[in-house]
Structure 1
Amino acid sequence: MKDKTQQPSPEIPNQAYQLYDKYAHGMLSRRDFFSAMASLTVNAALATTFINSMLPNYALAQQVSFNDAGILASYQKFASPQGYGEGRGYLVKPKNATAALPTVLVIHENRGLNPYIEDVARRLAKAGFIAFAPDALWPLGGYPGNDDEGRTMQRSLEPTKIVADLKAAALWLKQLEGGSGKLGVVGFCFGGAITGRLAAELPEVVDAGVPFYGSPPPVDSIANIKAPLLVQLGELDERVNAMWPAAEELFKRHKLDYKIEFYPASHHGFHNDSTARYNKDMADLAWQRTLAFFQQHLS
């Protein structure tokens, strides 16, 4: 079995990760990515090896089996009248729960509900939460089975309707039978940005938020946030980290309950254990903090 801690060759400079981040977020074409890699004196073969190492291997990402005896998993639909009309997501509950449980909305990256995000939902259920991971791509038939196509599909959707669908998912989950009425939100990349946005735009709904390496909420909405936030950032994630100092000033000005954690030697996407950006030690630490944060604020 492949070592989950395996990293790309040390010949790859850190700047290559920043270039890949831009490529993955549609800021660079594949051709421009390779041209920029060449400027770093990375040859074409090594650049190809690097970009291939960034492609997900979802066999590595399964920490909790989909048929684990301790969980109940299903796909559920919800109404979204302000969005695309109907949403769908992956609902996971602890099996044989004897009391109402806190709920956590899990928001995916910019490519739809892939197996890594489904596994995150299962991890939350194993920790005692009811987790729901909506798929923003459901209006187009759902996650297509590969991330590149998923990114293209997500870019084709109307952003305001995507947000409306995710708000509808939060409201649906908040009122779910068997839930305690407490709602946490955790998101990654695109989902990290949406986590903060939901906290700002649904302040009476969101009780705690954990954004992983996402952009901050819009500045004109930060004052609305009531939920405590735990912001998880990779130390080497230059693009996203550059956005946070100005936002943090507003967090302080409005006396928000928040903490920002930086994870050493970690790139954008360091929690995603399906790609070579994964940093196991830091991902484990960030996840331990996430669970403790939700246990504290959703109990």
Structure 2
Amino acid sequence: MKTLALLLLISAGSLAVTVERPELRAVRRRRRLASLAVALLILAALLYPDYLRWRRAGYDQGAVELLRSLHKAEVQHHKAHGTYLPLDKMKAAGLSPVEEGGIFEGYSYTSSASDKGYTIVARPTWPDGQSYTLDTSGYLNRPAPEKRAKTPEEKLALAREAAEKAPQDATAWVRLSEALAVTGRYAEALSAARRAWNLNPTAARRVLCDALIYRGGELLELGKPREALPLLVESTRLEENDADALALLGDAYRALGRETEALQSYRKATRSGLSSARAWLGLAQMLEARGEVKEAAQAYLYVVDIGDETHAPDAWVHEASTALKRIHGREDARQR
């Protein structure tokens, strides 16, 4: 009861204050309104990003739908008149709600058109939005078709045409020589390289050296070391430390029975390029034949190592591995 009386007294006091001091009620009302305004501002700040996303998603969907309707209009116009229209003409014909460069529901629109096709681009007016490109295919944001790589024969045809159009251009003949070499036309490649050399020795130095090596190697494979030899000698004069040229030169000397010169070429090739499997194999074979098996075994081992690390022909690696087994077998037999 005492508690109830106390509550009634407090209520009465509050009422008395309210009655007696009406200005306090106005203050409290203003405070409530201010608090409500602050709460609404906080709520708006929390909801505004979601509102923007929702609104922009609506614009985004609207742009997609508009582009699809524009595609239908373009197709119908092309069927009727045999041409496509840019946005300005579509707008004038009543086929589009937006003109060229115009903004419609958050997106700006641009276009290009001809008898063969059209392209319409819709870009958002806010940063980081999704742009859309529509073309004659009717697909949105269709990736550009990848260009097919030209075949070696197609590249060769273009190189021939360029050399014919600019016969005094050394670069054109350099490119023709390279294209001919890629297709295995080594004699023609050498001829084109010499033409480039006559026009500009500096620009043609490397391609002429390569052409001499390719043609010399081809002649060796055809069993014509005597014809290959002058070409390979010439290549080493152009590039005296070219390991491939020196290795092939060693093969040519060896095929002609000129062993001293062959050994010199092989050794120089191995010093010029440790990865020259051809030089190491030729050197190893000659050393083994001369009875210098210890050095031969080391050279064969280089061939095997090169085959593991790079792309030496399997036949060379197999031959070197077989030779190592043969040499080790002889040494074991001697020790017994």
Q: TM-score, normalised by structure 2?
A: 0.22
* Structure (1 or 2) with the greater strand fraction: 1
Rg comparison, structure with higher value: 2
TM-score with structure 1 length normalisation? 0.23
Structure (1 or 2) with the greater helix fraction = 2
Q: Using CA pairs below 8 Å that are at least 6 residues apart, which structure has the higher relative contact order?
A: 1
